[in-house]
Structure 1
Amino acid sequence: MSNKIKRIMAGTNLNSGRRRKIWDARGLQCSIIGTCLSRTDIRKLASKRVFGLRPDLDDHEIHSILVNRAGTKSDESRALHRILDNKYKTIITKFAKIKTEKELIKQWEEYLEAGNIAGAYWAVMSHPALTNEGAFDIHGEIHMIAHDSTALYQKAKKQLNDSLTRAAGIEKQLEEERTLNRDAQKNLEETAKKLEAAHAEQEQQNETIRLLQDRAAELEKRVFHAETGRAVQEIKEKNDLLEKENDDLKIQLAQLTSQFETLQKMYDLSSQTAEEIREQNSTLLEHNQQLSQELNSLEDFLSTRMVFDDTDSPDCTNCVNEEECCKRHLEGKTVLYVGGQYKMVPRYKQLVEQYGGVFLHHDGGVEVSRHVLPRFLSRADAVLCPVDCVSHDACKCVKKMCKQFQKEYVMMRSSGLSSLAKSLQEIAQ
């Protein structure tokens, strides 16, 4: 694609001594429109009478038509040029004071480092001091930023999907435990009913025994008075039989009581297990929510840097909004990153600088921290520390020193780029 852009631009004299119109920037219209106009912007343009576009077109179709019409001098391209000039009037005025390409490139790089890309891109591409070579280099920078942003977005999206899958598994396990708990509760209720019936039967038997004992006592009195030994013996036998039945009922009651206590213990254990699973699920849901927030932060950041090239990729519809870029600007704050993955340090630095900050790094060693860290802290405005790549002792040491030096301290969940993006957004706010 680089050779293609060079061939297209070869027939264009960008350094003409006057501000270029959009139809003069051959081969760059796709990049300019995709970078400098958001989806909302091109939707509004599509509704204007001068462009005459159907309302049922999707964003990519609108973008492609605008790019095509911007390539030739016409009412549509003139209207598009005026819209870009009005949208970025302040930045264009600032760039207009620059006379040489060297100063122009320096000004562009300052805006790029600050993440304020959209307006600066149109101002530099339409500036009379810009040569073909300079335009090609700037277009290449924008093109590679799009690739970096896409890779970060894919990684964050995969982490969220994995978390959702784990949450679904925990929810399924919790539902199985609920089913077991309901079955245990049902068995417990049935046993309680049996125990209640046994108690009622025992009371009835006790009442019968009392009646029989009363009758036996009365008969004993009669027998005593009648001196009838046979009657007394029969009454004693009946009384012994009733006492045996009473003993059997007591044994049965003891067995039912033991069963009830066993089921009660099973129910308590099941309830405890269900509570533990609920706590695990709550922790996972909270972790999932953190990942979602980090993904949203990263998606917001990526959406401000998704730019078009001259391919048919729908990613060229994403654009930077100036207002949103300002909200994420660290305004030159110095960020000290303690620990993390060594191979990721260049990516940490790139992300901090894209947020408008200055990056410092310390490897997080405890012994080294006590001697070297104070020198880093004296230069830092905020300190970030990922708990997954730094020891507990190192975290405590850094936190204590931050409190001593009165520095903002943010403990991150992980050393990934999504956690860093979320923390930078918190610092910027």
Structure 2
Amino acid sequence: MCDLIPTPRVSTSISKSKLWHLPARFHCPIIGTCLMPTEIRQLAAKLGDKEIAREGDYWLHTYMVSHCSNKNRIALALQKHLDKKYAAAIKRFSKAKSDDAVMALWKEHLQQGKVAEAFWAALCHPHSSYQLQEHLYEEVHMLSHQIGAGQRADLKRLADSQDEVKLLTKRLEEQEKKHLKSAANKEQQIHQLQQQLEQLQADNATLKRENHSLRHAGNQQPKQALIVEGSDWRQQYKLSERRVEKLTAQLQQQSEQMTALEQLMMPRSDSCEGCDNQDCHKNPDFNGRKVLCVGGQHKMTGSYKELVNRCNGEFSHHDGGKEDSRKRLESMLNAADVIVCATDCVSHDAYYRLKRFCKANDKPYLFLPNSGLSSFAMAINSMAEKVAANPNSGQEIKIVNAG
């Protein structure tokens, strides 16, 4: 408020209703409450004070207040503008003939929020006493503080609302981006599904055409198709028969090897003469001949030796060129009566030297396809039987197997 020198309170009524007749300290709330800054600026421009009209709101407000204490062109313009602006309120208040009536109208307008028009109409009313004018001034003064506090609260709420709007705007933008991205992905998926559907439809049409063609061809040449199919089945049957024959031969060979091994592994009896035990088996007899095993698995050497010993033979072994020397093989071949060679565990050099030596010296020998114990047992059993059948043949006995 633009309070100047306080005016002493008096109890006499004020009959004057002009702006410059009112106490000077009333001018500030009148200008500030009853006129908007834009109105004041327009009045200043209309009065020719263009420089003043370009000043700030506070400076322009102070300028107008300072010209209200006496009758001048600015005070007259303000009086005219206020009377015209609040003519309806002045007319309503003119019906009041006492302070109480003016106060009643003031409270009524105050409840309706019509502070500015009621303030001007009540202050300029010819029946408003000084005490009433002071009361109105005090109420408007306090209202200005309340309005200021409310404005500050409103400004804070406005700032908070603006921050919230920014946050919500940011979230909305993020949601829009996600939505656009999701929409783009959905559109791409739809496009891919459409392509797949078109491809499936094309494939379906092709299959229908092929099915129709096959049915047409089947109706025309059913016998020829059956003949071709029967020929295929016969060919498959022949292949299956050959495979069965091959497997049967392998099974027979394995069975013979197992039988030979089982016979050699049966418990021996030193007195078999006159024995009527059907479970007892008499092993073939090498009659002390030397049996040389060339190659084979080193870990099976003990088992090889056990089988030869059971057939009354003297076992010796050469590893087939892995560690034993060539000279040692030559001497062992000379000393042996019977030679067995496992072809899957022997060097090429030892294999061909053994073969040449046995043919040149009429040595009985046998090549085994593998170094398994059952194969070795079958070979020992076969060779022992031939040696037993020709006990005096010596080196002239020759047993040659494949190889």
Q: Same fold (TM over 0.5)?
A: no
* Bigger proportion of residues as helix: 1
Give TM-score, length-normalised by structure 1.
0.42
Structure with higher RCO (Cα < 8 A, 6+ apart): 1
TM-score normalized by the length of structure 2 = 0.44
Q: Which protein is bigger by CA-based radius of gyration?
A: 2
